[in-house]
Amino acid sequence: MRRVEVLGTPVDLVDLEQTLNWIESKISHPEPHCAQIITTNPEAVVRAQSEPALKQALQGCELITADGVGIVWAVRLLTGHRLTDRVPGSEILPAAFARFGPRLRVYFLGAAPGVALRAGQNAKARWGIQICGVQDGFFTDEEAVVEAIRQAQPDLLVVGMGERQDTFIHRNKARLGARVAIGVGGMIDVLAGEAKRAPAWAQRLKIEWLVRIALDRRRWGRFPRLLHFVRLVLGEKLWPQSAGSRGRGE
């Protein structure tokens, strides 16, 4: 697996099939701590410039895939490497459920009360996965949640807590007891039927993120981060400050 860096953020040059193979290897041969997947996007890269906890989570993550087309573009522009496609959580999750089916023990963490339960029930009905626990994202006792996950011993911990999800996993990965954990944003809501993915044409054109922002006023505040990401990438291309964008073999 080859890893490059974009503005100090690691990105692994993997496609969906390679990601699923990686998940299978971590489930079959677990590490002493939970193996984390982050599906990074331009916003996360921008946030990491000023949020030490997120930067630490990204730099200490075992697998980082390109969630958005912005990352695919930046990797090509800054490193010369070409990602065949983005690998978002919205594609990893259903593909993993379809591949592993009843063999997979899953814990759903996140979203509003009751949503994670419905997401798990729907996923079980469709793919036959085992649900070993659910918990909404509106908790106050983090230690109790971590202990509940540890007791459940899931193969896959699915976390949908927005900007908190990746730092939550990183902060607790040594104690979670899960073999693999992944932050999936609003995908728990999608599985529960609370939200829908963008239309198929937007997915094909790889502008799903743009459609989601355009149709949801709550997301309009994200545009400044996206514009800042473009400025940072172009600035790094024109005036490189470090060797942070060089790739390395792993």
User: pTM here?
Assistant: 0.87
The DSSP-derived string for the chain is: -EEEEETTEEEE---HHHHHHHHHHHHHS--SSPEEEEEE-HHHHHHHTT-HHHHHHHHT-SEEEE-SHHHHHHHHHHH----SS---HHHHHHHHHHHHGGG-EEEEEESSTTHHHHHHHHHHHHH--EEEEEE-S--S-HHHHHHHHHHH--SEEEEE-GGGHHHHHHHHTTTS--SEEEE-TTHHHHHHTSS-PPPHHHHHTT-HHHHHHHH-GGGGGGHHHHHHHHHHHHHHHHS--SSTT--EE-
Q: What is the pLDDT along the chain (250 residues), one digit of tens a residue?
A: 899 999 999 999 999 999 999 999 999 999 999 999 999 999 999 999 999 999 999 999 999 999 988 999 999 999 999 998 889 999 999 999 999 999 999 999 999 999 999 999 999 999 999 999 999 999 999 999 999 999 999 999 999 999 999 999 999 999 999 999 999 989 999 999 986 655 555 555 555 555 555 555 555 456 687 889 999 999 999 887 644 444 444 4
